Structure 1
Amino acid sequence: MGTGTLVGDLRLVDLTKRFGAVTAVDDLTLTVAQGSFFALLGASGSGKTTTLRMIAGLEEPTAGQVLLGAEDVTRLRPYRRPVNTVFQSYALFPHLDVAENVAFGLRRRGVRHLRPQVERMLALVQLDGYGRRRPAELSGGQQQRVALARALINQPQVLLLDEPLGALDLRLRRQMQGELKRIQTEVGTTFVHVTHDQEEAMTMADTVAVMNAGRIEQVGAPADLYEFPATVFVATFLGQSNLLAAEAAGPTRGEVAVTAHGARFTVPVARARADRGPVHLGVRPEKLRLAASADEVPDGHQHVAGVVADAAYVGVSTQYQVHTGAGGELSVFAANNGTEGRHAVGSSVVAYWRPEHAFLLPRVPGEAERSSTVRDEPVAVSR
């Protein structure tokens, strides 16, 4: 988007919201670039929905500002803001047909000659010919499209989406992910999408902000967050990670030497969020490979020996839990591509990886190791 603040950038400055003694959003500063698809990702209670409601004007901040370009909209009533919201419940009017639902906002503003605009919006969401149907005659995915068309016909500067796909089944949810991204690209409106679903955020958004306890843990492109997490929370919430307790000796010649499980490893300086003292040596499960012995480990790789404690075949991969000699546990996702053999439970193995696939994070002294224990596929990263 270039440098500087664009006319239509959405900016949150020192935004705070307290409910009594509870701080839901804590001194949040964030810029959403004009025309971007931006995701606020976090678990329940992270503050993401409260943030969205303050942008919409449905909650008044305790402190801070909401700005659209140069305009401070912090104290404006919701209907005075160039912002529309699509909720999880859709909130369609059951007594109105699809066309009238879509036209509702324009009709209230006294706009005439609505039909061409309504038809254009229905075509955008691929509901041509559905104008005379009632909401009850539509599927969940179709109702979601109507809600989207009703919001977009008002030409908002920012469209807010509050868990919009949460009520859909898995197949429809994945279909609508692609549709939402297509529509956003076509209309060029700024989308701010609130979700707890990692896959939704990673596959649709240009930029993702990971929220935790009312604060932003990390902001960036999906691939950057996944490949190089900034905190333990991001590493374990966004996908799955193996985090080995290690000690770092400091950077030397472009790499950081660390000791873990009685062995020495190295990590590129560019992939180290901490380079001295207690650290987590992190490796994603899909970046690990298994061999029967250290003799089979390719040159240039680093490894840890262990025993297979569990193996689960899940179609595209086999997911292993490996107990290491130091008492830790590693998760390994081995692709079922026909190039690697299977490893039986109880067999001795060596887990190995390339140094450039590892990362270092700060570790509180005494903090335990962490590994992925949920059987699931790695998060999809579309960019």
Structure 2
Amino acid sequence: MATQTPPGDLRLVDLTKRFGAVTAVDDLTLTVPQGSFFALLGASGSGKTTTLRMVAGLEEPTAGRVLLGEQDISRLRPYRRPVNTVFQSYALFPHLDVAENVAFGLRRRGIRQVRPQVERMLALVQLDGFERRRPAELSGGQQQRVALARALINQPQVLLLDEPLGALDLRLRRQMQSELKRIQTEVGTTFVHVTHDQEEAMTMADTVAVMDAGRIEQIGTPADLYEFPATVFVANFLGQSNLLAAEAAGPTGSEVAVTAHGARFTVPVARARVDRGPVHLGVRPEKLRLAASADQVPAGHQHVAGVVGDVAYVGVSTQYLVRTGAGADLSVFSANNGTEGRYPVGASVVAYWRPEHAFLLPRATGPADRRSPSRDEPVTVAP
């Protein structure tokens, strides 16, 4: 028996957008479950905003479909779609007070009794008592909440958020991250959030899709993407990664043996995207620990020797740059919890990790490997 698509799932099917010879979105297919907080994460030019604009009806697809449940909305005009958008600029009407800004959509539909709905929305975004203020009398965070209330009062099936926190300072941005997640949980509306900010996506979203060059590199929960990236691009874009260029000899039991810089390492089979041939052996900086010598490395750990090339104290951690004998650099984040030793620049150290904290990724060889880490990125290890 065929499974039925839930009535509110947003589905993009073979979606493509070209601007002349430039392909901004390339044959994109994904499903955003109804009621989820979904993030499209990518750098400028990755296609994330163009994707959002096609869902909103502000751009017409070159090919493919946009569906809500079984309804194809690809060719509907924006105002006919059960979708609303919150932009980075907020786009509030400066001559209207807060209440009238929020009520705008209802009034356009001919609804006269708007006060109960407006009061409910303002309470949801914690702006009770701000009804008669003008946008110019509000802070950036308050304006963002007004824009959110104005979009939600129309009860859209999908709310699109186009870099909505980009204009806020760091403190307000972090506060609004929590507020947006709270509001989404309360109303249960599907949120699709476009951002280039990795912390923002990981803090708020249930599911994150990492985009590059108009395609999806990987989709999953924030923890899945961070702990076990599928590609070099994801490993380097979502946080930082140390990547050792290595050769994998294939699985032996539950482990894959790899060789890098003449040393042998192992990685669990479950942590290997590929188990034979050219690979990247990856370890996140916070998974590494430092010791003064190899005889201080705990049993069951793997290690690489080097010299401290730089030290940066950032409060919660001390960040070390360890230069290895192969001429490559390792980034190590050591928690400032009072139990870790301190190492000055020039100190000989050993960076060590547990095998289950490593991962293996495919490694293309030659200049055609556009996803290979740059040699001048300090967080990356390469021969």
Structure-1-length-normalised TM-score: 0.95
- Residue 373 of structure 1 aligns with which residue? 378
Q: Distance in 2 between matches of 1:254 and 1:370?
A: 32
Per-residue deviation, 1:4:
5.6
Correspondence list, 1:117-196, <5 A? 117-196=117-196
CA contact (8 A) 2:286 2:334 kept: yes
CA contact (8 A) 2:161 2:192 kept: yes
- Residue 37 of structure 1 aligns with which residue? 37
- Residue 304 of structure 1 aligns with which residue? 304
Q: Distance in 2 between matches of 1:86 and 1:308?
A: 46
CA contact (8 A) 1:244 1:370 kept: no
- Residue 265 of structure 2 aligns with which residue? 265
Q: Distance in 1 between matches of 2:130 and 2:347?
A: 60
Given the superposition, is the C-alpha separation of residues 4 and 275 from structure 1 closer, same or farther in structure 2, using an over 3 Å criterion? farther
The one-letter code matched in structure 2 to 1:160 is L
CA contact (8 A) 2:329 2:378 kept: no
CA contact (8 A) 1:226 1:238 kept: yes
- Residue 13 of structure 1 aligns with which residue? 13
SS in 2 for 1:55: helix
3-12 or 217-226, larger mean C-alpha shift: 3-12
Write the deviation string for residues 300-339 of structure 1: whole angstroms up to 9, x where unpaired: 1000011111111111111111111112110000011110
CA contact (8 A) 2:304 2:324 kept: yes
Per-residue deviation, 1:112:
2.4
Per-residue deviation, 1:370:
6.1
Given the superposition, is the C-alpha separation of residues 369 and 36 from structure 1 closer, same or farther in structure 2, using an over 3 Å criterion? closer
Q: Distance in 2 between matches of 1:260 and 1:365?
A: 15
Q: Distance in 2 between matches of 1:195 and 1:268?
A: 33
The answer to whether 1:290 aligns with 2:295 is no
Write the deviation string for residues 21-43 of structure 1: whole angstroms up to 9, x where unpaired: 00000000010000000000000
Write the deviation string for residues 138-191 of structure 1: whole angstroms up to 9, x where unpaired: 000000000000000000000000000000000000000000000000000000
Q: Distance in 1 between matches of 2:344 and 2:274?
A: 37
CA contact (8 A) 1:243 1:370 kept: no
Q: Distance in 1 between matches of 2:247 and 2:225?
A: 24
Q: Distance in 1 between matches of 2:272 and 2:328?
A: 22
The one-letter code matched in structure 1 to 2:50 is T
- Residue 213 of structure 1 aligns with which residue? 213
The one-letter code matched in structure 2 to 1:232 is V
104-113 or 226-235, larger mean C-alpha shift: 104-113
Q: Distance in 2 between matches of 1:7 and 1:266?
A: 46
The one-letter code matched in structure 1 to 2:201 is A
The one-letter code matched in structure 2 to 1:128 is D
CA contact (8 A) 1:319 1:334 kept: yes
SS in 2 for 1:171: helix
SS in 1 for 2:164: coil
CA contact (8 A) 2:318 2:336 kept: yes
Structure-2-length-normalised TM-score: 0.95
- Residue 198 of structure 1 aligns with which residue? 198
- Residue 279 of structure 1 aligns with which residue? 279
The one-letter code matched in structure 2 to 1:204 is M
SS in 2 for 1:173: helix
Q: Distance in 1 between matches of 2:163 and 2:312?
A: 31
CA contact (8 A) 1:26 1:215 kept: yes
The one-letter code matched in structure 1 to 2:283 is V
305-314 or 220-229, larger mean C-alpha shift: 305-314
Instruction: Note the aligned Cα RMSD (angstroms).
Output: 1.2
The one-letter code matched in structure 2 to 1:207 is T
- Residue 64 of structure 2 aligns with which residue? 64
Correspondence list, 1:218-237, <5 A? 218-237=218-237
Per-residue deviation, 1:365:
2.2
- Number of residue pairs aligned between Structure 1 and Structure 2: 372
SS in 1 for 2:40: strand
Q: Distance in 1 between matches of 2:4 and 2:267?
A: 34
Write the deviation string for residues 14-63 of structure 1: whole angstroms up to 9, x where unpaired: 00000000000000001000000000000000000000000000000000
The one-letter code matched in structure 1 to 2:324 is T
Structure 1 residues without counterparts, runs of 5 or longer = 375-383
Q: Distance in 1 between matches of 2:358 and 2:4?
A: 33
CA contact (8 A) 1:91 1:147 kept: yes
Q: Identity of paired residues, percent?
A: 88
Per-residue deviation, 1:369:
6.4
